[in-house]
Chain A
C-alpha cells in the first residue's frame, strides 16, 4: 500500500445522554478537535466522508443531519453506513486515489435509540425477527457456543470487564470507569445467559473524527503521523444458523489481509497493542484469538496471566474499550484513534510504553458477521 497516515484525531467525551447536543453539535466538536490536532483548518481538507446509520439516528438519509457540521460545504463528500473502521478504510481509498486529505467523522446518540428494536432489525424480517432476537440475545448464543467449544468460563469473561472498566479511569473520554472485582461481575444479574449486566457495554452518545493524508501532505505537517500499514475487511454468512458462531472466520480473513499488507508474519510477537471490539466480554477473548495474538481457545488464560493488562506484554483495550463507552459505529473509529495516539505517544495517562505497531478492530452486523482490521505503525 502507498503510504497514508492519520494526521489528526478528535473525540468528544462519551456520555450516557448528551441531552444538550444534536448530532451536528457532536460532529462539529469532534471534527474541530481533529483539525486542531492536525494543525489544519477546514480549508486544508480536500474531501469529507461521514458515517451514520438511519436506524440508530431515526432519520432517513442520516448524513443530512451533519452535512453542515462536518465542514463538507462545497467539497466532495460521501457516506459509509457502518462501523468507523469501514468508513475510515474508504477514506484511505480516496486518499490513495489521489485526494490529498480526507476528514472522516462518525457519530452516535444511543440515548435517542431503542436498542432492542433497532438491533432486532438486523435480523431476517420473516424468519427471525418475531423471535425477539437482538444484539444481546444473539451475543448470548455466540458466547455460549464459544465457551462450550473451548471450555471458557464466565470468570474468564468477567476478567475482561474488570480490566477494561479499570483502564477507563485513565481515559478522560471514557464514559464508564468502574472499580470492579470478578465477583462483582459474576453477581450482576443475567441479561441473557451467559451474559450478565457487567459483561455488557453501556449505551453512549458521542462522535469522533480523523484526518487522513497522503505521504506528501502528511510529511509537510507539524502533526505527528500514525501510518496506515494495512487494512483488511471480510464478511461471514448472514443467518446465524449458517455459521459456527464459535469460529472467527471473517476476523481471521480480515487479519490475514491486513497483516500481509503490513508485512507482519507473527502478530503475537510483532503487535504491541490492540484495541478490539469488546461490547460483550467474551468478544474480547474471541478477538484476541481471531487477530492471532494468542492461540484459539487460550485468550481466557492469556488474559488471566495479565498479558492484556495496561502494563502487560500485549495490552488490549488500554483505553477502556467499548465496554466503557460504546457509541455504535464510532466505536471502531475510536479503536483506530486510540492506536494512533498510542503510536504517537500521546495517549496520556493510559499511554503504553514503546508502541510501534498497533491493531484496531471493528464490526458490522449480528455476532461480528463483518469484520475490519487495521494495522497502524510509527514508521512510513
Chain B
C-alpha cells in the first residue's frame, strides 16, 4: 500500500486581531506562510502542494486559491481550495493530511485564513441556509447557538454561570498566547453582566470576529526526520457533516437514546476506535476544541466522551480542563479568544502539534504527548484529529 504516515513539521500563525488594517488578505496569508516555512526550515521552493481554505462570502473573493498565489507561494505549484464553513480549517488540515498520506506529495502546506473585519459575518452565515425554509426565520450563528444552549439548560439544569466558567477559563489561558485576540483576566460575574445577544447567550459567551491566518506544513514519514523540529504525528482523523437544515440537529434529541450532537458523537466513536481511545480525559494530555461559544464547552465535552450526558458543568468546575488539570482544554485561549473562521480549525491542529512537540511556550502543558483537535461548523458538523508525539504504528487512512 502507498499509504504514508504523516507528520506536522512546521507551524505559522499571524497575530489575531479584530481588524488587521496593516495587511491585505494576501499579505495576511503570506505572514502565516512565511512563519510556517521558517519554522520548518524550508523555502517556498521546497513545497510540493498547497491546500487553502476560507469562507468565500466573508471577503467576497471568488476562487481564493488562484487569487492568493502571491501570498501562498503557489506560483508554479499544485493548489486546491477546500471549504466547509466553520470546519474549513480542520477540513484543510485533513485535506493536506490526505495529500501526504496518499503518497502523491511529500511536503504539503495547509493554509486557513479569514479577514472578518471585511465581512458582514451574520449576513453571510444566514445565506448558508435554505433560501425558502430557513433564511426567513434564521437569526444567524448566535441565534442558532442560543437554541442549542436553551435546550441544554432545560434538559440538564446547567446554568448560565456554568457556561461563563468556560469563557473565563479560555480567555485567561489566552494571556499566555501572544498570538491571541482576546486576552483577559475575567470572572463569572463579569461575563454575567455582559448584554444578552440572544438569551441565554451573552456577549461574553460568544467568540469574537477576528482577522488572522494559520499555516501548517505536513510531511511524509519518508522525510519527516529532515526538519529542524521533531514532527508531531497525525494519529487519526474523522468527520461527520450530517445535516443541512437548521432544524435537523434537533431531530431525535428528545427521544429515548437520542443524542446531543450526532455528528460529533459518530465522528468521535470512529476516531477513538481507530486510535484506541477509551477514556479521553485520562488519555489525552491536551485538547484544542472549536468552542464557538461558552455553552459548547459544557455540552461538547459530553459528545466527545470526556464525561457523561449532563456532566459538562461538573467536569469543567472540577478544574480537570483548566491549565494544570487532567486534560487542559484550549491552552491557547481557543475560539472564545480568537475566531478568524477559516483559520480557526487549523489553529486547533497547529496548537496541538506545538503542545506535543513541547514548543508551546508559556501555554505549554508539561509533558503533553497526545492531543485532540476539533473543528465545528456547517449545520452542527464535526471534524476531529488526534495528534501525538509518538509515531503511530500504522497509517490509518
Does A73 sit within 8 A of B, measured CB to CB? yes
> Which residues on A sit within 8 Å (CB–CB) of B127?
58-60
Known contacts A93-B98, A237-B75, A370-B79; is-contact A365 B63 (Cβ 8 Å): yes
CA distance A63 to B381 in the complex (A): 12
> Which residues on A sit within 8 Å (CB–CB) of B104?
1, 93, 96, 231
A235:B61 contact, CB within 8 angstroms: no
Those of B364-379 within 8 Å (CB) of chain A: 377-379
Interchain CB contact (< 8 A) of A78 among B56, B60, B82, B102: B82
Interchain CB contact (< 8 A) of A79 among B61, B82, B101, B395: B82
Known contacts A61-B84, A61-B378, A80-B80; is-contact A124 B67 (Cβ 8 Å): yes
In the complex, identify which listed stretch (A64-72, A202-210, A338-346) lies at the interface while the others stay far away: A64-72
A60:B78 contact, CB within 8 angstroms: no
Does B13 sit within 8 A of A, measured CB to CB? no
Does A233 sit within 8 A of B, measured CB to CB? yes
Interchain CB contact (< 8 A) of A97 among B60, B125, B266, B397: B397
A80:B241 contact, CB within 8 angstroms: no
A122:B102 contact, CB within 8 angstroms: no
Most buried by B among A53, A55, A61, A99: A61
A90:B95 contact, CB within 8 angstroms: yes
> Which residues on B sit within 8 Å (CB–CB) of A81?
56, 65, 81-83
CA distance A67 to B245 in the complex (A): 10
Those of B127-159 within 8 Å (CB) of chain A: 127-131
> Which residues on B sit within 8 Å (CB–CB) of A54?
55-57, 83
Does B62 sit within 8 A of A, measured CB to CB? yes
**1/0 contact trace for B91-121 toward A, CB 8 Å?**
1001100110111100000000000000000
A235:B77 contact, CB within 8 angstroms: yes
Does A241 sit within 8 A of B, measured CB to CB? no
CA distance A75 to B242 in the complex (A): 8
CA distance A121 to B75 in the complex (A): 20
Among residues of B, the one whose C-beta sits closest to the C-beta of A2 is B2
Q: How far is the CB of A141 from chain B (nearest CB, A)?
A: 16
Does A364 sit within 8 A of B, measured CB to CB? yes
Among residues of A, the one whose C-beta sits closest to the C-beta of B125 is A60
Q: How far is the CB of A345 from chain B (nearest CB, A)?
A: 29
> Which residues on B sit within 8 Å (CB–CB) of A298?
none
> Which residues on A sit within 8 Å (CB–CB) of B80?
80, 82, 86, 89-90, 233
Does B15 sit within 8 A of A, measured CB to CB? no
CA distance A82 to B60 in the complex (A): 16
**1/0 contact trace for B228-239 toward A, CB 8 Å?**
000000000011
Q: How far is the CB of A21 from chain B (nearest CB, A)?
A: 14
> Which residues on A sit within 8 Å (CB–CB) of B76?
234-236, 249-250, 253
> Which residues on A sit within 8 Å (CB–CB) of B85?
60-61, 63-64
Those of A157-203 within 8 Å (CB) of chain B: none
Among residues of B, the one whose C-beta sits closest to the C-beta of A48 is B241
> Which residues on A sit within 8 Å (CB–CB) of B65?
81-82, 235, 364-365, 370
Among residues of A, the one whose C-beta sits closest to the C-beta of B238 is A76
CA distance A16 to B178 in the complex (A): 53
Known contacts A60-B125, A65-B130, A124-B67; is-contact A235 B3 (Cβ 8 Å): no
> Which residues on B sit within 8 Å (CB–CB) of A92?
102
Those of A129-152 within 8 Å (CB) of chain B: none
> Which residues on A sit within 8 Å (CB–CB) of B395?
97-98
Does B187 sit within 8 A of A, measured CB to CB? no
CA distance A80 to B82 in the complex (A): 4
Q: How far is the CB of A6 from chain B (nearest CB, A)?
A: 16
Those of A342-378 within 8 Å (CB) of chain B: 364-366, 369-370
How many chain B residues touch A (CB < 8 A): the figure is 60
> Which residues on A sit within 8 Å (CB–CB) of B95?
78, 80, 90
Q: How far is the CB of B95 from chain A (nearest CB, A)?
A: 7
Does A77 sit within 8 A of B, measured CB to CB? yes
A77:B241 contact, CB within 8 angstroms: yes
> Which residues on A sit within 8 Å (CB–CB) of B3?
96-98
Interchain CB contact (< 8 A) of A64 among B91, B124, B129: B129
A61:B397 contact, CB within 8 angstroms: no
CA distance A86 to B80 in the complex (A): 7
**1/0 contact trace for A231-249 toward B, CB 8 Å?**
1111111100000000001
> Which residues on A sit within 8 Å (CB–CB) of B131?
58-59
CA distance A67 to B131 in the complex (A): 16
CA distance A233 to B395 in the complex (A): 25
CA distance A21 to B397 in the complex (A): 35
Does B69 sit within 8 A of A, measured CB to CB? yes
> Which residues on B sit within 8 Å (CB–CB) of A234?
76-78
Does B326 sit within 8 A of A, measured CB to CB? no
CA distance A98 to B84 in the complex (A): 23
> Which residues on A sit within 8 Å (CB–CB) of B124?
60
> Which residues on B sit within 8 Å (CB–CB) of A253?
76
Does B190 sit within 8 A of A, measured CB to CB? no
> Which residues on B sit within 8 Å (CB–CB) of A61?
55, 83-85, 128, 377-379
Among residues of A, the one whose C-beta sits closest to the C-beta of B6 is A97
Does B66 sit within 8 A of A, measured CB to CB? yes
Does B196 sit within 8 A of A, measured CB to CB? no
Known contacts A235-B66, A235-B75; is-contact A63 B55 (Cβ 8 Å): no
Interchain CB contact (< 8 A) of A2 among B1, B57, B98, B130: B1
CA distance A78 to B397 in the complex (A): 14
Known contacts A60-B127, A63-B241, A365-B65; is-contact A125 B60 (Cβ 8 Å): yes
Does A32 sit within 8 A of B, measured CB to CB? no
CA distance A54 to B397 in the complex (A): 29
Does B222 sit within 8 A of A, measured CB to CB? no
CA distance A64 to B381 in the complex (A): 10
CA distance A365 to B65 in the complex (A): 8
CA distance A238 to B95 in the complex (A): 23
Would you mind naming 6 contact pairs between A and B with Cβ atoms under 8 Å apart? A79-B84, A97-B397, A234-B77, A235-B65, A370-B65, A370-B79
Binding site for B on A (CB under 8 A): 1-2, 24, 53-55, 58-61, 63-68, 72-82, 86, 89-90, 92-94, 96-99, 118-119, 121-122, 124-125, 231-238, 249-250, 253-254, 364-366, 369-370
Binding site for A on B (CB under 8 A): 1-4, 55-57, 60-63, 65-70, 74-85, 91, 94-95, 98-99, 101-104, 124-125, 127-131, 238-244, 266, 270, 377-379, 395-397
Q: Given contacts A119-B62, A364-B65, could you give 14 more A-B pairs where the C-beta distance is less than 8 Å?
A: A2-B1, A54-B57, A60-B56, A60-B127, A61-B377, A65-B244, A73-B242, A81-B56, A97-B101, A125-B60, A236-B76, A237-B75, A238-B70, A365-B66
The 9 residue pairs across chains A and B that have the minimum distance between CB atoms: A365-B66, A98-B397, A61-B85, A97-B101, A96-B102, A93-B102, A121-B62, A54-B56, A60-B128
